[in-house]
Amino acid sequence: MDAKRATIKDVARAAGVGVATVSRVLSGGSASARTRERVLAVAAQLDYRPSALGRNLRQRRTGGIGLLVPDLTDSFFGRLAEGVLACARSAGEPVVVGSTGDDPEQEAELIGMLLEQSVDRLIAVPSGDADAWGPAVKAGMTVVFADRLPSEAPGEDDDSAATADLMLLDGLAPAPVARSADLPAVLADDRAGIRTAVRYLSGLGHRRIAFLGGPGHDRRVAAFREAVGSPVDEELVVFATGSRDSAYAAASGLFQSRPDLTAVLAAGNVLGEAAVLAARELDLRVPRDVSLVMYDDVPWAELCAPPLTVIAQPARDIGYRAAELVLRSGSRRPRGVVLPTELIVRGSCGPRR
Amino acid sequence: MDAKRATIKDVARAAGVGVATVSRVLSGGSASARTRERVLAVAAQLDYRPSALGRNLRQRRTGGIGLLVPDLTDSFFGRLAEGVLACARSAGEPVVVGSTGDDPEQEAELIGMLLEQSVDRLIAVPSGDADAWGPAVKAGMTVVFADRLPSEAPGEDDDSAATADLMLLDGLAPAPVARSADLPAVLADDRAGIRTAVRYLSGLGHRRIAFLGGPGHDRRVAAFREAVGSPVDEELVVFATGSRDSAYAAASGLFQSRPDLTAVLAAGNVLGEAAVLAARELDLRVPRDVSLVMYDDVPWAELCAPPLTVIAQPARDIGYRAAELVLRSGSRRPRGVVLPTELIVRGSCGPRR
DNA sequence: GGCATCCATGGAAACGATTCCATCATGGTT
DNA sequence: AACCATGATGGAATCGTTTCCATGGATGCC
């Protein structure tokens, strides 16, 4: 039989003090030097570790952080998660991770699960409506969004106003991000990033630039439309559903239906991968036949043939900052953070053929 | 003020029954049809969700699953984690994830944290000694290893015996994996996979094959030695520490110090990436100057120039099966599982120059 | 020297569930 | 008719912690 873990009572008895004193000593309350010393000695000797269960029940909250991402298989979310984990570790907080598959239904289910666990701090890459977050905030959760904001609820009144507002914030300065239920967020500066990419392609002479997006890329496509300026050819804007297969199908369909396009902006690394694959399959040479810019830098972009020109985002930092935000929410709470992106020119873009 | 969540007492009062009855109804105990119906109605109306906190305290365990991986940034562990998450979600269990950075110290710290949370089920890709898992099993945790087994503790008596034993299990049949503290594990069939790769390279005429490994690849390097047969040239076996930089340095150093090698077997996707990069940097052409096989298939392997020949592992399945194992541990417990690997020939290997 | 203050301390009440146990009603059997 | 078995039910204990409150001793100030 393995001895049960020592409880605070055991420590109290062994140290000849009351449980209240032990609790105080261990959580930094006031106690005489003599008692403190003895309690600590006994606790160390018994290898006592306070049970989070008891504590959490008493304080009616779980210290931990919830993290909801669409897909850990996507390198971007992997890096983001790693950032969250790093920050949480340094704070000694556990992180409960859920993968939503970009499905609002699963997301709602996971939110419910976190609620049941009394997890009161949540970092989320949202898939569902703004409405989906009602239950969470109503239950008193501290929510911080990362990478994206929830799309407008279908029935909301000032539909595009908030989004338009958001698009206005620019540059690197941490800017307030007022939005749905007024929740803070940590985002990459999609607007500047996309604009840079579009300008770069325009500068090379490209006029028919396609946009290849996935779920949750509405801010990016909005930025794309804005950067292009003139009303965009809607056939050149296509969306996949999130799976690799769907991304490939979308890319392939795009190339086939519009052989006149000369450049593609892929809004995420999975889409970029699909674009390269589809182009290769159709014997389109990059960059001779078609130029390609991928939003999000990944290690393999350099290994690709040709190496991919990308817009790099600080994925890990996004996670880290989000964790900081959700942990510091007690004191002054910065409203939101926008982190800079960077164009990294490699070999996948050339002048218009 | 947002109303506090309803407790079981609220439900009991509203339904005019005792708390015990409510608890029984909700957890499937016996109750008359009339009462059950009323309790369920009231619970639904109050939007009652039992608090995991209270339950866990009473039963002295957290339902959840702990998951410890070296690095979520590594695509392999991302896929593995996704598998665990998928299984856990279908069981409604939360997953607490920690990233150890392949550092035994951080690993021990995270184990301590999970212990404190009373997480009693753990899936781990171990970094530390067999000894590091003492505290966990002593505390009554159900531990399942994934992808690797902990290395032997330095002071252990029958040093290589267990490992040798393990190397003997072969093929696809789920086989008992008796080892340190007798813990179950879900592994890829590294031995067969490495052997296949080595034979494939041998068949192409290669004689000086290098092995590029990382932390936790001891079973793979052992399989490599065994597959090569004759005593291997120790200069051709190099290890990196886990970071991308270290992997690049190791690969680059290998190519420079032994220009006579004709093939490289990279034991993981990060190492494969580094090998491609280093080869390119040194103007070694793949596969003309050097052939390359990577252990672990990743989406970008196909995009690489040339596309990489790989040994694919069912990363997601490994995670999924591990989660099944750790959840089913109550009933009959299969001792361990070995999953098959597959050689996927693309374009990174050629005949010996 | 007396009184007010302050601090260390321990007992006990939460927190929200599960679960043991006693109670009571019911119905069937002898 | 008495008795027993069965099943539904509610009260109360329990899990391990934090925290409120009362107590008692010591110290400082007038």
Domains, chain A, ranges and CATH?
8-50 (1.10.260.40), 65-187+315-339 (3.40.50.2300), 190-314 (3.40.50.2300)
Backbone angles phi, psi at A264, to 5 degrees: -130, 135
Non-local (6+) Cβ contacts of B280 within 8 A are none
- pLDDT at residue A173 in the model: 41
Taken as a whole, chain B contains a residue count of 353
CA B211 to CA B217: how far, in whole Å? 11
Q: Of B64, B247, B212, which is closest to residue B142 (Cα–Cα)?
A: B64
Q: Do A89 and B98 touch (CB under 8 A)?
A: yes
Chain A neighbors of B115, CB-CB under 8 A: 49
CB of B56 under 7 A from strand D? no
Share the mean pLDDT of chain B.
Answer: 89
pLDDT grade for B134, boundaries at 50, 70 and 90: confident
pLDDT in tens, B99-128: 999 999 999 999 999 999 999 899 999 999
Backbone angles phi, psi at A98, to 5 degrees: -130, 145
Q: Of B223, B186, B200, which is closest to residue B87 (Cα–Cα)?
A: B186
The number of angstroms, rounded, from the C-alpha of B263 to the middle of its chain's C-alpha atoms is: 28
Residue B328 Cα, gap to closest chain A Cα (Å): 21
Q: Of B261, B310, B316, which is closest to residue B289 (Cα–Cα)?
A: B261
Handedness of CA A133, A134, A138, A139 (dihedral sign): negative
CA B239 to CA B217: how far, in whole Å? 9
pLDDT in tens, A7-65: 999 999 999 999 999 999 998 878 888 899 999 999 999 999 999 999 999 998 887 99
- pLDDT at residue A333 in the model: 63
Q: Is the peptide bond before B287 cis (omega within 30 degrees of 0)?
A: yes
Residue B51 Cα, gap to closest chain A Cα (Å): 5
- pLDDT at residue A330 in the model: 62
Q: Do A78 and B72 touch (CB under 8 A)?
A: yes
CA A139 to CA A122: how far, in whole Å? 12
Give the A:B interface size as CB pairs under 8 Å: 150
CB A162 within 8 A of CB A217: no
**Beta-ladder partners of A338:** A187
pLDDT tens track, chain A, 353 positions: 456 789 999 999 999 999 999 999 998 878 888 899 999 999 999 999 999 999 999 998 887 999 999 999 999 999 999 999 999 999 999 999 999 999 999 999 999 999 999 998 999 999 999 989 988 888 889 999 999 999 877 764 444 444 433 433 444 443 333 345 578 999 999 999 999 999 999 999 999 999 999 999 999 999 999 999 888 899 999 999 989 999 999 999 999 999 999 999 999 999 999 999 999 999 999 899 999 999 999 999 999 989 999 999 999 999 999 999 999 876 566 678 999 999 999 999 999 87
CB B136 within 8 A of CB A2: no
Non-local (6+) Cβ contacts of B29 within 8 A are B23
Q: Do A95 and B94 touch (CB under 8 A)?
A: no
CA A142 to CA A184: how far, in whole Å? 9
Q: Of B314, B197, B351, which is closest to residue B266 (Cα–Cα)?
A: B197
Other Cβ atoms less than 10 A from the Cβ of B342: the count is 14
CB A208 within 8 A of CB A263: yes
Q: Is the peptide bond before B306 cis (omega within 30 degrees of 0)?
A: yes
Provide the Cα torsion B112, B117, B121, B127; round to 10°. Answer: -20
Query: Tokens in use for A231?
Result: 């009303």
> Does the structure show a pLDDT above 60 at B161?
no
Q: Is the peptide bond before A307 cis (omega within 30 degrees of 0)?
A: no
Non-local (6+) Cβ contacts of B297 within 8 A are B310, B311, B312, B313, B344
Strands B263-266 and A142-146, sheet pairing: unpaired
Q: Of A298, A302, A280, which is closest to residue A290 (Cα–Cα)?
A: A280
Question: Residue A200 is which amino acid?
Answer: Y
pLDDT grade for B1, boundaries at 50, 70 and 90: very low
Q: What share of chain B is helix, strand, coil (3-state, %, to 5)?
A: 45, 15, 40
CB A251 within 8 A of CB A275: yes
> Does the structure show a pLDDT above 60 at B334?
yes
Query: Tokens in use for B110?
Result: 């995270």
**Beta-ladder partners of A339:** A188
Which uninterrupted H or E stretch holds A220? Answer: helix A218-228
Q: Using the C1' atom of nucleotide D8, identify the protein residue whose alpha carbon is closest.
A: B31
Chain B neighbors of A97, CB-CB under 8 A: 67, 81, 85, 95-97
> Does the structure show a pLDDT above 90 at B140?
no
pLDDT in tens, A158-194: 444 444 334 334 444 433 333 455 789 999 999 999 9
CB of B20 under 7 A from strand C? yes
Residue B85 Cα, gap to closest chain A Cα (Å): 7
CB A89 within 8 A of CB A323: no
Q: Of B73, B82, B118, which is closest to A53 when you measure between CB atoms?
A: B118
Other Cβ atoms less than 10 A from the Cβ of A288: the count is 11
Handedness of CA A14, A16, A21, A25 (dihedral sign): negative
CA B286 to CA B161: how far, in whole Å? 39
CB A62 within 8 A of CB A88: no
Q: For the residues B1-8, what does the mean pLDDT come to?
A: 74
